[in-house]
Amino acid sequence: MKMPAAIEPRMIAPCGMNCGLCIGYLRDRRPCPGCNDPDDSFKPKHCVVCTLKTCEHHSAHAEALCVTCTSYPCARLRQLDRRYRSKYRMSVIENLEEVHRIGVQGFVELERERWACPHCGALVSVHRTACLSCGESVDDTRGTGLTRASLASL
């Protein structure tokens, strides 16, 4: 598995997804380059045609994050946020708010700490509950400050 020492700022997608934690990016075989890199045959179709990435605001303002949009947070973004909060213990909206507050560089540095395996320090994928490097189970409450209580209330 790819085990980056740091998460690069370009891994933060316009919707707030941290592609650096995606199993599609971390896998060894046919890794996805991430939302912000040019589409290639390894990027899944649903990410190529994603209606958030291809929405009017992003077409008009290259590299803009959803948090700068006048419709933020739109229904599409809230739906993605619900899915990630309930299935993957991450909130893309909380990610965006944090990027807005502290900047993308500060955010990726915090993310590297938050998603570090407590056993070996490797990066944990948001899509897995065990470390890709050492195989140990990881705390399923890690992520953007989500607690068991807040997840239970979803």
Q: Which residues bind ligand SF4 (CB under 6 A)?
A: 13, 17, 19, 22, 24-25, 32, 34-35, 43-44, 47, 52, 55, 57-58, 66, 69, 71-74, 76-77
Candidates 11-19, 39-47, 77-85, 126-134; binding stretch for Zn ion (CB under 5 A): 126-134
> Residue 34's binding partner, choosing from ligand SF4, Zn ion, none, with beta-carbon cut-off 5 to 8 A by kind?
ligand SF4
Neighbours of 144 (CB within 10 A): 22
| 97-132 CB burial, b ≥16 within 10 A, e <16 | bbbeeeebeebbeebbeebbbeeeebbbbbeeeebb
Count of residues engaged in binding Zn ion, rule: CB under 5 A? 7
- Distance between CA atoms of residues 97 and 129, nearest Å: 25
Instruction: Tell me the closest approach of the beta carbon of residue 107 to ligand SF4, in angstroms.
Output: 16
Q: Which of 119, 127, 128, 151 binds Zn ion (CB under 5 A)?
A: 119
Find the part of the chain contacting Zn ion (CB under 5 A) among 2-10, 37-45, 59-67, 115-123: 115-123
Q: How far is the CB of 88 from Zn ion (least distance, A)?
A: 18
Q: Which alpha helices (DSSP H) does 115-154 contain, by range?
A: 148-152
Q: List b or e across 8-19, with b for residues whose CB sees 16 or more CB atoms inside 10 angstroms.
A: ebbbbbbbbbbb
CB of 59 to ligand SF4, least distance (A): 9
Of 7 and 117, CB closest to Zn ion? 117
Phi, psi (degrees; rounded to nearest 5) at 88: -130, 15
Phi, psi at 48, each rounded to 5°: -70, -40
